[in-house]
Every structure is written in structure tokens, then in C-alpha cells.
Structure 1
Amino acid sequence: MAQVTTTLADLKNLTGGSSSTATAVVSEQAAPEPKIDAQGRAYATGKRKNAVARVWIKPGSGKVTVNGRDIGVYFARPVLRMLLNQPFEIAARIDQYDVMATVAGGGLSGQAGAVRHGISKALTYYEPGLRPPLKAAGFLTRDARVVERKKYGRAKARRSFQFSKR
């Protein structure tokens, strides 16, 4: 059997004798524009459990304030402070942005997760090129796990009352 090789010139001739040639439309995706306000900040909302964080980032020396207090005062546990620095480590932007956040609701762990989510989203708004590494690390997805509600006829959400045979 003979092998048939086709070239682009052969494919162009397949259209017949028509004078119109098919033009391929190449759609170039424009790079997304940064979403920056008049003060040069990027704003995002982060959520985790029942906590909601409003986060503003701007270029600076790496100062982080949460509800008007320093990060070391508000989040005393090192694990919670580490949680907030993860987006900057993934994006290789440690100590390049100042963060101002206000958090309400939930406990400290949920609030730290909400601030991390907000920082990640704000980074993608400020520098859209950082979206792929932050998305791959899972920081842009809102963790939907919340505490299950208590049901009637139960001691807690799922635990039943103690059984007594007599």
C-alpha cells in the first residue's frame, strides 16, 4: 500500500476552484487585567467555616494586620501564622505585600483559613499570572466544610441518646 502524504498546499486545493479561501481565526486570549482600586490595593473576600474575611493587599514590606492588630498578637499560634504565609510562599512573594484584613465570625482557626483564602484571591486580582500556582495548591477553592447542625431526637448532630434496656 502506498502512503499518501498531504501538505497544506494540497489541502488548500481541495476547496475546488472557488475564489474564497477559508481563513482561520486565531483567538488570542488577552491577559486578564489586574483589579486594583484608587489606593493601589487589591480587595478580596475569603470565607472558611463561619468566618468571613475582607482582605486588602498592596505592595509593601510584608506587614500583616488583622482587625487592627499585628498578626503575632491576633493569631498567637504559629500554625495559624504559617497558614497565612502559605499563599506568599507558593507565589514566591514573601515580604513584598502589606495585608490589611478584617475578620468576623467563627473561631481563630476558621478566621485564619478565611484570611488565607482572601489573601490568595487578592493576589490573583493584583497579579493575574499567579492564579495557576495558587489554584494548583488549592488556595482559591472555598473549603465548604461546616459544622453539621444538631437534629431533634439526637444528643448531637449524629450521636443518639444512651440506650437503657431497663
Structure 2
Amino acid sequence: MEVTNTIGRRKTSVARLFMTPGKGEVKINNRELKEYFPFEIYQTIVKQPLVLVEEDGNFDFKVNVGGGGYKGQAEAIRLAISR
């Protein structure tokens, strides 16, 4: 199984992302996406790159993110997925 490792930064937030082929599971700091980002706008920001290329649900993500606020973290994860 191939693992892709990328990094995304936004303001003071840093996201380290590990991507594998899978079913669309997103774990952020060992928590589910909907648990870590309870507001739908942040979930939408994270999934934007996948929806854009019509690959939503084809990859699993394990993300370690820190620094900044929720919006900066969501945008850092978005950049990491885009890369």
C-alpha cells in the first residue's frame, strides 16, 4: 500500500498529512473529521480539493495538525490535500 506524505501551512497552522487509497475516512489528530470540525463550513473547506477533482471517498487521510485556530487548521489541511 502506497502512502503519500505532504505538508500544508496556513498562517501559524501546520498540517502533516498521510494519504492512502481507501474509503474516504478522514482522521484529524486521531479524531473523526465531524468530531474535530463540528461546523460544516470547516468540513467543506477540508474536502474542497477532493470534490473539485471528483475523488471524494477514494482516499483515507490521517492528519496531524497544530497551531492557529480552526479556520487556519482547516485551510492548512486543504493545502496539504491539494499538494
Tell me the TM-score normalised to structure 1 length: 0.49
The one-letter amino acid paired with 2:62 is M
Q: Which protein is bigger by CA-based radius of gyration?
A: 1
The one-letter amino acid paired with 1:100 is K
The one-letter amino acid paired with 2:80 is G
**Residue 68 (structure 1) aligned with residue 30 (structure 2):** yes
CA distance in 2, matches of 1:77, 1:47: 21
Bigger RCO (CA 8 Å, 6+ sep): 2
**Residue 115 (structure 1) aligned with residue 68 (structure 2):** no
CA deviation after TM superposition for structure 1 residue 60, in Å: 0.2
CA distance in 2, matches of 1:67, 1:84: 14
CA distance in 1, matches of 2:5, 2:33: 19
Identity of aligned residues (%): 34
**Residue 105 (structure 1) aligned with residue 56 (structure 2):** no
Instruction: State the superposition RMSD in angstroms.
Output: 0.7
CA deviation after TM superposition for structure 1 residue 91, in Å: 1.1
CA distance in 1, matches of 2:8, 2:65: 9
Per the alignment, residue 42 of structure 1 pairs with 4
**Residue 52 (structure 1) aligned with residue 14 (structure 2):** yes
Structure 1: gaps (5+ residues): 1-38, 122-166
Q: Which has the higher helix share?
A: 2
Per the alignment, residue 51 of structure 2 pairs with 89
Structure 2: gaps (5+ residues): none
The 4+ residue runs of structure 1 with deviation greater than 2 A are none
Tell me the TM-score normalised to structure 2 length: 0.97
CA distance in 1, matches of 2:51, 2:35: 21
Q: Which has the higher strand share?
A: 2
